[in-house]
Amino acid sequence: MIIIRIKKLRKLPLISLVTIIGCISILSCTTPKADKNPKFDWFKYQGNDPIYEGLEVAEDEYVNPILAGFYPDPSIVRVGKDYYMVHSSFSYFPGIPIFHSTDLVNWNQIGHVLDRPSQLAVDSLGVSRGVFAPTIEYNDGTFYVLNTLVDAGGNFMVTATDPAGPWSDPIWLDRVGGIDPSIFFDDDGKVYVINNDAPEGRPLYQGHRAVWIREYDLATNKSISEPKVIINGGVDLSTKPIWIEGPHLIKVNGEYILHAAEGGTSTNHSQVVLKGDNPLGPFTPGPNNPILTQRHIPVDRDFPVEYTGHADMVETENGEWWTIFLGVRLYGDNHFNIGRETFLLPVTWKDGWPTILEGDEEVPVKLKRPNLPYAEKPKTPTHGNFTDIDEFNTNTLDDKWIMLRTPREDWYSFTEDGFLKLNARNHEISGLGNPSFLGRRQQHGYASASTKMIYNPEKEGDVAGLVAFQGERFYYLIGITLNEMDEKEIFVDKSEGGVVTRIASEKIIPNSSDEFFLQIEAREAEYDFSYALTEGDWKYLKKGADGTVLSTNKAGGFVGTVIGIYAYTN
């Protein structure tokens, strides 16, 4: 008796079903021939951060961050009982991931704001250029996202009646320079656009910036008042504050609350608040600025969340106030590989001023949940330790998958027998093109990513495998190739500062099925690379590679590590 295990079948045409039945009856069929275009059967991601191991989380508690991994610059809006959140995506495509929640803890991604090439032309840009700091707002049936496309057009707005899309093509803002535009709808029907830009006259010092505002007419897409500076430098110009940015204007009890990030997105990052009686100012700094920072607290603690700032605030339907903000989880000597993440904390009001953290209060790893009905856990987990497996058994990519820059051709597809296929092309992972690379964010310091790949390189230099990518000049690649002796070889390449070094390689015993299992394991400062020719029979190819190569503080930029599948041919 012969048992044939069929893991998954799509809705196959009749001829395909006949072929399968024929294979069973006459035992004459073979596995489809592998070639230079690899096929991937599944992709498994697992996060195992020690901080969550054994952590007791009560039913009325949640853990931080609420969106782990590279989800920086959060912005939030409430519409009734629904909450929507967006994030920066830089030169990744699709751009601006958008999430939905009803309890502020469990977030489901409902798509991307910029999911068409016509919306996001980031061709040839470095990975940390492109989409910076979006803001989402809602007014009278329409959602608005304002954003800066750095090095590719400037400040723009897109709109939608359904936050899941479709969103409009970019509407370029009139006379709004700089970065970080946001929009404010006042009770009297007036609309204002706020942004970060250079100050009036010459900057007084490096990092001297200002927050500007002007009244705006959405019908004509025109500024209808002269732009005006409402924050010069920061809350105290005499201290030479740097990079006042990410401004948000809200109205509470008839007063205008202006809050913004100050100090740059590194060790001195913070959130400050000011108040005024008119959206055009003047604004008076609050008595307890900054209302959020961790810069004064020693890093040597169990849950070292640093760089906190770039916050947004929301009032729930129950009258509670909460804030989302970015932070990083450090290891070792000020390193972090997984980017700037999104955290959630309550906001308290004292004498009419919002406060997030005071004194030496630390960002907690867990705390009491918002007073909202519990939502179902998301289909793709976003916080705590979890395992996420994609078996590529649909004809569309899950929203967690992203690529580098704007695609100008179709180079991936789903096969009838349940695989994701990449067309190998001559765009290298180290270049500024759109390589055949699909990745998902590394969301834990301790994590593993593995896949089953069907692949047969046809000529020297063909490559397919797994990449842990921080930037064009900082990444690891474990792949299969054909060497100069026409032999299959598995290898690990390290790119550090653009210098590529082969740190491990082995010749591969011929494998008639052309099946390869590849795995990357992260342990914060160290990465391990392993492979198998039969499932589960793992063998280390390189253990203990330098993980700081993937640290933002070594690689630079504003992104986090993305791990995914890759194919190349010249």
Q: What positions carry a catalytic annotation?
A: 73, 245
Q: 3-class DSSP state for residue 467?
A: strand
Characterize 422-434 residue by residue with b for buried, 16 or more Cβ atoms within 10 angstroms of its Cβ, and e for exposed: bebbebbbbebbb
Q: Which helix (H) or strand (E) holds 504?
A: strand 499-507
64 vs 303: CA distance, rounded Å: 10
| C-beta separation of 433 from 405 below 8 A | yes
What is the per-residue DSSP string for 371-432? Answer: SSPPPPPPSS--SSSEEEEE---SSS--TT-BEES---S--EEE-TTS-EEE--BS--TTSS
Q: 3-class DSSP state for residue 555?
A: helix
| C-beta separation of 232 from 199 below 8 A | yes
271 vs 400: CA distance, rounded Å: 29
| C-beta separation of 103 from 370 below 8 A | yes
SS (H, E, C) 4-73: CCCCCCCCCCHHHHHHHHHHHHHCCCCCCCCCCCCEEEEEEEEECCHHHCCCCCCCCEEECCCECCCCCC
246 vs 401: CA distance, rounded Å: 27
Rounded to 10 degrees, the C-alpha dihedral 161/163/169/175 comes to 90
| C-beta separation of 522 from 442 below 8 A | yes
Strand order in the sheet with 499-507: 436-441, 562-568, 463-471, 474-482, 488-496, 499-507
Rounded to 10 degrees, the C-alpha dihedral 17/21/24/27 comes to -90
What is the identity of the amino acid at 8? K
Task: Give the number of C-alpha atoms closer than 13 A to the C-alpha of residue 411, restricted to the C-beta side.
Answer: 25
Structure token digits, residue 385: 């330790």
454 vs 451: CA distance, rounded Å: 10
